[in-house]
Amino acid sequence: MKVYADNAATTKLSEKALAAMMPYLTETFGNASSLYDIGQQAHHGVQFARQTVAEVIGADTNEVYFTSGGSEADNWAIKGVAEVMAKKGKKHLITSAFEHHAVLHTMQKLEKDGFEVTYLPVYENGIVKVEDVKNAIREDTALVTIMYANNEIGTIQPIAEIGKVCHEKGVIFHTDAVQAVGHLPINVKEQNIDMLSMSGHKFHGPKGIGALYMRKGIRIPNLIEGGAQEAGKRAGTEAVYAMVGMATALKDANDNLESNMKKMSALRDRLIDGLLKIDSSRLNGDRNCRLPGNVNISFEGVEGESLLLYLDLQGVSASSGSACTSGSLDPSHVLLAIGLPHEVAHGSLRLSLCEANTEEEIDYIIECVPPIIERLRSMSPLWERIQKERGNA
């Protein structure tokens, strides 16, 4: 059996999205800025896409700017606000310890440029405390950026409350909602969100397209100078097929939001319960406040890369936060941020589901994992040591 369970990394392009994209890759190839018919048809594609994205998140059409993806939207939002606010003497930024690298590395760059950054703790459950945000805001705070839902452990943050605190103090609030858009109900106005990043390939849209929502009234420097595209803020001939593909996928996800969430949470809970039966395992991140498709479990005494490659040999695609998988030297900063010891973080497995997964697939995973864990533990000197320490040897 083949089971794709790495939907937090990327998703399969939906058939609807592909069908909607095809005309713009074939007959309707015009430049959306051209005045003749196929140009105007392309222009309508762009309009449809912008309007659809805006409607789904409760924004106005002219508050949506297309980008190449989530990383670009994060970079643009954060660096843009930082640059504008620095001129007003505000050089303090607030974020969390477990953001995606698109945010964290941007913060590190700004630190080098003389900004001060507060990294809020996320505690054992992987959730930022609103109180901490409130206490961290200063006179010179330029921006608060907290992700909507974490990409590794799936924990959902109290976005509306954080936004409220920011607004009370007059600070701009950005959220990296790449893992949340298309998976959770979002309304930027009701949730006090000033800026939001999203990415098409996380909800069955194409790769290489995303968007930044920016509330009317917020001004940041243009990202790319050139033509009048994206209100002159991000020039370049539009990739109409990608915009239309993303919007179509998003609309589909939104139309089926409730039933998808219900279905996925049931699959997720079945998978969590099945895997937690394994000795010395733990669920990472809050059990309830998590994305409908996210499962992240650590198994003591095993190393994550071996685990996921043995799973791959059985047809299951997953991911891990071990150092060995990242090619870097430390295990995932997310798992360290929720207080996991290094050796437990190395043994983590992330399975991220989508609505196309079935109960049979979940049961297949539940069947595959225990013998692999057993096999890895039987050859693990670390497991031997753990057993000795517990007096089991």
Ligand X SMILES: Cc1ncc(COP(=O)(O)O)c(C=O)c1O
Q: Which stretch binds another protein (CB under 8 A): 44-52, 184-192, 364-372, 374-382?
A: 374-382
The residue annotated as part of the active site, out of 289, 324, 354, 368, is 324
Q: Rounded to whole angstroms, how far apart are CA atoms 61 and 65? A: 9
Q: Return the closest-CA partner of residue 239 out of 19, 12, 29.
A: 29
Q: Return the closest-CA partner of residue 133 out of 162, 167, 93.
A: 162
Distance in Å, CB of 347 to another protein, minimum: 9
Using only the alpha carbons of the chain, give its radius of gyration: 22
Distance in Å, CB of 18 to ligand X, minimum: 18
Distance in Å, CB of 301 to another protein, minimum: 7
| 299 to 328: interface string for another protein, x by CB under 8 A | --xxx-xx--xx--x--------xxxx-x-
AA letter at 164: K
Q: Which residues pair with 144 in a beta bridge?
A: 94, 173
Residues listed for the chain: 393
Smaller CB separation from ligand X, 30 or 205: 205
Say whether residue 382 binds ligand FES (CB under 6 A). Answer: no
Residues in contact with ligand X by the rule CB under 6 A: 69-71, 74, 100, 102, 147, 151, 176, 178-179, 199, 210
Q: Rounded to whole angstroms, how far apart are CA atoms 267 and 115? A: 44
AA letter at 21: M
Smaller CB separation from another protein, 167 or 385: 385
Say whether residue 309 binds ligand FES (CB under 6 A). Answer: no
**3-state class of 170 per DSSP?**
coil
Q: Rounded to whole angstroms, how far apart are CA atoms 181 and 169? A: 26
Smaller CB separation from ligand X, 100 or 346: 100
What does the DSSP 8-state code read for residue 282? E
Is 368 noted as a catalytic residue in this protein? no
The site partner of 327 among ligand X, another protein, ligand FES, none (C-beta below 5 to 8 Å per kind) is another protein
323-362 residues near another protein, rule: CB under 8 A: 323-325, 327, 329, 331, 342-343, 346
Say whether residue 324 binds ligand FES (CB under 6 A). Answer: yes
30-45: burial string, b at 16+ Cβ within 10 Å, e else: bebeeeeeebebbbeb
Say whether residue 86 binds another protein (CB under 8 A). Answer: no
Distance of CA 75 to CAs 54, 101, 307, 344, Å?
20, 10, 34, 32
Residue 46's H or E segment, with its range, is: helix 37-57
Smaller CB separation from ligand FES, 111 or 312: 312
Give the interface with another protein as residue ranges (CB under 8 A).
Answer: 301-303, 305-306, 309-310, 313, 322-325, 327, 329, 331, 342-343, 346, 376, 379-385
Catalytic residues: 324
